[in-house]
């Protein structure tokens, strides 16, 4: 039995089998070889393995996202057979007498650079694909083929770290819990775990060589513990806790259909945050009044190329239609920082959280923005859709956004494509936006306060840095004063204001937020009914 502690990002208990997900982080070494044929045969075997993996991925993707999006895996299969690419690897092994993985890695880099420098957009986008297939070959050569999660039973995922793009690719039905060595409580991986309602522990000092796939484990998000190979007694206790939790959740279900109203009649909207169309089920299950934040960038993660307008349109349409007239606030692309996507070719930055991200990308690369806006406007006729823009710091940015929106509207008008102009709001998540919120309020229909980034930028604490978790204090007076200021400015201009950062779900602050006059709290679906319960117990006269 091995008992370890970590930081819980979602409270809950599970008992299940472990799957260890290891990533290839070993550097590829250049090794002088003598047996060329042996290296060529290793390369061929790795290539066959890669073809098999890609075929599987293609079949899975066809079922889940359709043929057009799955086609990328066919492209990869073809690239693996490309003569120029393969000849270059063979030639390097022969002439330089080096190991196959080194020859693949170097050739992959050379080809990828060559594609990246081409004029043609399509060819440029292939740079990431060559990198991808080269990495796949290297992984297979180093005996670290990917873990096939498609065939696994619901399991506890144990890993060194998980990026948001890895997390979104996982089949949520198959994950009982996450346990990672690294990660910060405010990262998007943690947010995803909360959204998925699954216990998650981060910062667990595990030696992954000691933990094996197939082990039993208990993950207890209440006391922040994971117990590998638990005793019979601990399993029984865990099962009891799971039953208790189940009962509490059932009790909360009695609040479905009830109003979010204090004992003295103050009402507040409680909406849910989602990251994918698949999350709507949780929204409905938990009786949220709407969707206060659809992080649309998750549609862009964990894939090989930009989602086309049609694909985005279908996703937005499905969300607004399923919500049947309830408010759905879709945030435009907030990529960058910890949400990295290879095909954006964002490049390495020293300070990605303060870098080229979110609305900055949209304003600098308007084609990407226009595609999303077209999809959003077209989806607007199917329900109650609002658009929200992230990372705003100035009035000029909002004006520039509106100019792009006007352009897109004119384009749709010319093509006689129907749309209904949605409400447009902005995230208040930079101190600059707080300080000019009086001016911004005149320009927009609503505000939603992003306390995750607002805390990061106000306290100068990188939300990704696990060593700073103790310094990341969203209860800081400065943050609460800022929220109050934003609420006052919004109301003065007759606009409504919500909170969609994680702080909105903090039950210690619910009463304070209601007293401040916050109009909406948008939280992980699993928190909606807990928040409703808290609101219904508040009495202003106390």
Binding region for ligand PEP (CB under 6 A): 191, 293, 295, 334, 429, 450-453, 500-501
In terms of CB distance, is 39 or 458 closer to Mg ion?
458
Structure tokens at 68: 């057009």
Q: How many CB atoms lie within 10 A of CB 158?
A: 27
In the annotation, is 500 catalytic?
yes
- Tokens standing for residue 525: 């679906």
Q: What is the 3-state secondary structure (H, E, C) of 214-234?
A: CCEEEEECCCCEEEECCCHHH
Residue appearing with tokens 């595609």: 371
- Which C-beta is closer to ligand PEP: that of 8 or that of 391? 391
- Least Å distance, CB 429 to Mg ion, is 5
- State the binding partner of 108 from ligand PEP, Mg ion, none, CB within 5 to 8 A by kind: none
Please give the Cα distance from 529 to 525 (Å, whole number).
Answer: 8
Angle at CA 267, nearest 5°, toward 387 and 532?
A: 85
Q: Which of 76, 188, 362, 489 is catalytic?
A: 188
| Nearer to ligand PEP (CB atom), residue 242 or residue 277 | 277
Decide if 9 contacts 129 (C-beta within 8 A): no
Say which residues have a Cβ less than 8 Å from residue 483's Cβ, sequence separation at least 6.
449, 451, 499, 513, 516, 518
101 binds, among ligand PEP, Mg ion, none (CB under 5 to 8 A by kind): none
Q: Which 413-432 positions form the footprint of Mg ion (CB under 5 A)? A: 429
For residues 180 and 159, the answer to whether their CB atoms sit within 8 Å is yes
d(Cα 419, Cα 408) in Å, to the nearest integer? Answer: 11
Smallest separation (angstroms) from ligand PEP to the CB of 143:
37
Q: Could you tell which of Mg ion, ligand PEP, none binds residue 451, using a CB distance below 5 to 8 A set by kind?
A: ligand PEP
279 binds, among Mg ion, ligand PEP, none (CB under 5 to 8 A by kind): none
Please state the closest distance from residue 191 (CB atom) to ligand PEP, in A: 6
Q: Is 74 or 469 the residue whose CB approaches ligand PEP more closely? A: 469
CB of 264 to ligand PEP, least distance (A): 30
The listed partner (Mg ion, ligand PEP, none) that binds 397, CB under 5 to 8 Å by sort, is none
Backbone φ and ψ of 186, nearest 5°: -105, 5
Judged by beta carbon distances under 5 to 8 A according to partner kind, the member of Mg ion, ligand PEP, none in contact with residue 200 is none
Q: Whose CA is closest to 385, among 354, 410, 419, 409?
A: 419
Residue 199 interacts with Mg ion (CB under 5 A)? no
Give 75's contacts (C-beta < 8 A, 6+ positions apart). Answer: 129
Considering the complex, state which of residue 132 and residue 429 has its C-beta at the smaller distance from ligand PEP: 429
Q: CB of residue 453 vs Mg ion: minimum separation in angstroms? A: 4
Geometric angle at alpha carbon 15, from 13 and 18, rounded to 5°: 120
Query: Which stretch of DSSP H or E encloses residue 396?
Result: helix 395-414
Least distance to ligand PEP from the beta carbon of 339, Å?
Answer: 8
Tell me which of ligand PEP, Mg ion, none is bound by residue 290, counting a contact when its beta carbon lies within the kind-specific cut-off of 5 to 8 angstroms: none
- Identify whether 491 is a catalytic site residue: no
Residue carrying structure tokens 């607007």: 380
**For tokens 């692309």, what's the residue?**
333
Total number of residues that touch Mg ion (CB under 5 A): 3
DSSP 8-class letter at 34: S
Q: In terms of DSSP H, where are the helices of 97-172?
A: 100-116, 121-141, 164-169
Q: Give whichever of 397 and 429 is closer to Mg ion, judged by the CB atom.
A: 429
- Three-class SS of residue 511? helix
> Residues 431 to 460: which contact Mg ion by CB under 5 A?
450, 453
Q: Which is nearer to Mg ion, 138 or 428 (CB)?
A: 428
Pick one of ligand PEP, Mg ion, none as the site partner of residue 500 (Cβ within 5 to 8 A by kind): ligand PEP
| 3-state helix/strand/coil string of 54-110 | HHHHHHHHHHHHCHHHHHHHHHHHHHHCCHHHHHHHHHHHHHHCECHHHHHHHHHHH
Residue 358 or 509 having the CB closest to Mg ion? 358
DSSP 327: E
Task: Tell me the residue number closest to Mg ion, measured at CB.
Answer: 453
The CB-of-452 to ligand PEP minimum distance in angstroms stands at: 3
Distance CA 283, CA 267 (A): 20
Q: Which of 76, 362, 489, 500 is catalytic?
A: 500
- Rounded Cα distance between 137 and 22, Å, is 16
Q: How far is the CB of 502 from ligand PEP (least distance, A)?
A: 7
Q: What amino acid positions are annotated as catalytic residues?
A: 188, 500
Which residues contribute to the site for Mg ion (CB under 5 A)? 429, 450, 453
């Amino acid at each position: 039995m091995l008992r370890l502690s970590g930081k819980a990002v979602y409270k809950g208990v599970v008992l299940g089998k472990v799957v260890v997900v290891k990533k290839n982080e070993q550097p590829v070494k250049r090794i002088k070889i003598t047996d060329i044929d042996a290296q060529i045969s290793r390369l061929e075997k790795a290539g066959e393995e890669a073809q098999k993996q890609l075929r599987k991925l293609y079949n899975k993707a066809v079922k889940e996202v359709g043929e057009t999006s799955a086609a990328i895996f066919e492209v990869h299969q073809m690239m693996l057979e490309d003569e120029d690419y393969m000849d270059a690897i063979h030639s390097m092994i022969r002439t330089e007498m080096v190991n196959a993985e080194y020859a693949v890695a170097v050739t992959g880099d050379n080809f990828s650079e060559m594609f990246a420098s081409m004029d043609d957009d399509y060819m440029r986008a292939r740079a990431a694909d060559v990198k991808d297939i080269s990495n796949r070959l290297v992984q297979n050569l180093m005996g670290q083929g990917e873990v096939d999660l498609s065939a696994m039973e619901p399991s506890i995922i144990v890993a060194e770290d998980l990026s948001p793009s890895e997390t979104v690719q996982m089949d949520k039905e198959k994950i009982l819990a996450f346990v990672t060595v690294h990660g910060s409580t405010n990262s998007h991986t943690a947010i995803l775990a909360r959204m998925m309602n699954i216990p998650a522990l981060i910062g667990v000092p595990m030696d992954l060589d000691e933990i094996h796939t197939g082990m039993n484990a208990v993950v207890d998000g209440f006391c922040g513990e994971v117990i590998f190979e638990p005793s019979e007694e601990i399993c029984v206790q865990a099962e009891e806790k799971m039953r208790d939790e189940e009962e509490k959740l059932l009790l909360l279900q009695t609040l479905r259909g009830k109003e979010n109203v204090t004992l003295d009649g103050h009402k507040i909207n409680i909406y849910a945050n989602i990251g994918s169309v698949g999350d709507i089920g949780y929204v409905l299950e938990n009786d949220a009044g709407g969707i206060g934040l659809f992080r649309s960038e998750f549609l862009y993660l964990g894939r090989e190329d930009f989602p086309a307008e049609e694909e985005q349109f279908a996703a937005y349409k499905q969300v607004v239609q399923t919500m049947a007239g309830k408010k759905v606030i879709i945030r435009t692309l907030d990529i960058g920082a910890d949400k990295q996507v290879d095909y954006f070719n964002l490049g390495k930055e020293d300070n990605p959280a303060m870098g080229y991200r979110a609305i900055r990308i949209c304003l600098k690369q308007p084609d990407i923005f226009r595609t999303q806006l077209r999809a959003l406007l077209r989806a607007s006729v199917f329900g109650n859709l609002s658009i929200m823009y992230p990372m705003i710091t100035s009035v000029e940015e909002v004006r520039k956004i509106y100019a792009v929106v006007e352009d897109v509207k004119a384009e749709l008008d010319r093509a006689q494509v129907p749309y209904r102009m949605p409400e447009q709001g902005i995230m208040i998540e930079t101190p600059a936006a707080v300080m000019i919120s009086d001016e911004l309020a005149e320009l927009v229909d609503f505000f939603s306060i992003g306390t995750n980034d607002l805390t990061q930028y106000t306290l100068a604490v990188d939300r990704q840095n696990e060593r700073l978790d103790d310094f990341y204090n969203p209860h800081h007076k400065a943050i609460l004063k800022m929220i109050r200021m934003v609420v006052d400015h919004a109301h003065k201009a007759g606009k409504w204001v919500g909170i969609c950062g994680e702080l909105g779900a903090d039950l210690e602050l619910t009463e304070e937020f209601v007293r401040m006059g916050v109009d909406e709290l948008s939280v992980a679906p699993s928190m909606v009914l807990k928040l409703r319960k808290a609101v219904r117990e508040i009495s202003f006269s106390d």
